[in-house]
């Protein structure tokens, strides 16, 4: 039984090591593949997508196995299908497989896109919500139609981990830190004080203080350590 898909990074010496939401998503898909292999199973393709808060469009955070045509379909036509997408939304984080949807194998997305691409079964999971909007999705496709009972638990565990990295990506997109603010954060994470940051960036200490105030507001933090931890979680801090 897969109890932890994404290991806890803890607060050790590498707590500021960069790991972007995309890197986290790829890591989860890799761990999912390992867990399935341990059970003598495999997915043919998988993708983690998120809803860009500025455009409202879904974008790929991580993708493995899907060709460009199928991935574009998942990002556009799939989320535009009110009936199917409504089922995914109402399932609220529970994986929905083809077999869970009456007559799903007769719909055009299966006959025209998924089956011709070699998939016999698949699952989609809503990864979070902002109001009524789904903030992200995990898609997973399989070549064998008889695997549902054996993979459902793994897909559910993977989706729980994916929801966290999707939340990080959505939060990062909403923050809009300037390049200078990112530089300040990187120096803060290295332990630099305001005087050192001012000297490094050739700005006044007052300017550094203003940048830090803006960073705290944008990241929803109230200390240098909290802001640095948040930036590390988002993959903004260089090694």
Q: What is the pLDDT of residue 141?
A: 97
Domain count, the chain: 2
Q: How confident is the model at residue 160 (pLDDT cuts 50, 70, 90)?
A: very high
Q: Judge if 51 and 148 occupy the same domain.
A: yes
What pTM value is reported for the model? 0.76
pLDDT of 116 above 60? yes
CATH number for the domain spanning 159: value is 3.30.450.40
pLDDT of 238 above 60? no
| Interval 13-23: pLDDT, tens | 333 334 688 98
Higher pLDDT, 3 or 126: 126
| Interval 39-56: pLDDT, tens | 999 999 999 999 998 889
Q: Judge if 47 and 128 occupy the same domain.
A: yes
* Helix or strand holding residue 34 (H, E): helix 21-38
- Name the pairing type of β-strands 129-130 and 58-64: unpaired
| Interval 165-176: pLDDT, tens | 998 888 888 888
| Interval 189-229: pLDDT, tens | 889 999 999 999 999 999 999 999 999 998 889 999 999 88
- Taking the C-alpha atoms of residue 101 and residue 88, their distance in angstroms, rounded to an integer, is 10
Q: Judge if 128 and 75 occupy the same domain.
A: yes
Q: Judge if 103 and 198 occupy the same domain.
A: no
* Helix or strand holding residue 92 (H, E): none
Q: Judge if 86 and 124 occupy the same domain.
A: yes
- What is the rounded (10 degree) CA torsion for 73, 93, 41, 117? -10
Q: Judge if 184 and 131 occupy the same domain.
A: no
88 falls within a domain: yes
Residue of 131, 135, 129 whose CA lies nearest to 53: 135
**Of 117, 135, 167, the domain-final residue:** 167
200 falls within a domain: yes
123 falls within a domain: yes
* Helix or strand holding residue 62 (H, E): strand 58-64
C-alpha distances (whole Å) from 231 to each of 23, 143, 147, 220 are 14, 39, 39, 11
Q: Judge if 67 and 163 occupy the same domain.
A: yes
Domain containing 59 equals 21-167
Q: What is the pLDDT of residue 19?
A: 60
Q: Judge if 149 and 184 occupy the same domain.
A: no
């Amino acid at each position: 039984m897969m109890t932890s898909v994404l290991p806890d990074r803890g607060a050790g010496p590498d707590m500021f090591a960069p790991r972007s939401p995309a890197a986290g998503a790829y890591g989860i898909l890799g761990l999912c593949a390992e867990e399935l292999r341990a059970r003598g199973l495999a997915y043919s393709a998988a993708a983690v997508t998120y809803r860009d808060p500025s455009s409202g469009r879904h974008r790929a955070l991580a993708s493995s196995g899907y060709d460009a045509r199928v991935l574009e379909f998942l990002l556009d036509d799939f989320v535009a299908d009110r009936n199917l997408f409504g089922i995914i939304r109402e399932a609220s984080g529970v994986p929905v497989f083809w077999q869970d949807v009456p007559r799903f194998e007769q719909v055009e997305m299966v006959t025209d896109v998924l089956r011709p691409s070699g998939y016999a079964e698949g699952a989609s999971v809503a990864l979070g919500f902002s109001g009524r909007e789904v903030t992200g999705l995990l898609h997973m496709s399989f070549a064998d139609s008889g695997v549902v009972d054996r993979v459902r638990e793994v897909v559910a565990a993977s989706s729980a981990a994916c929801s966290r990295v999707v939340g990080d990506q959505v939060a990062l997109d909403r923050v809009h830190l300037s390049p200078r603010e990112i530089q300040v954060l990187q120096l803060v994470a290295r332990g630099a004080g305001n005087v050192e940051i001012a000297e490094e960036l050739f700005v006044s200490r007052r300017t550094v203080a203003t940048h830090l105030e803006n960073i705290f507001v944008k990241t929803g933090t109230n200390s240098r350590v909290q802001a640095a931890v948040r930036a590390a979680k988002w993959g903004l801090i260089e090694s």
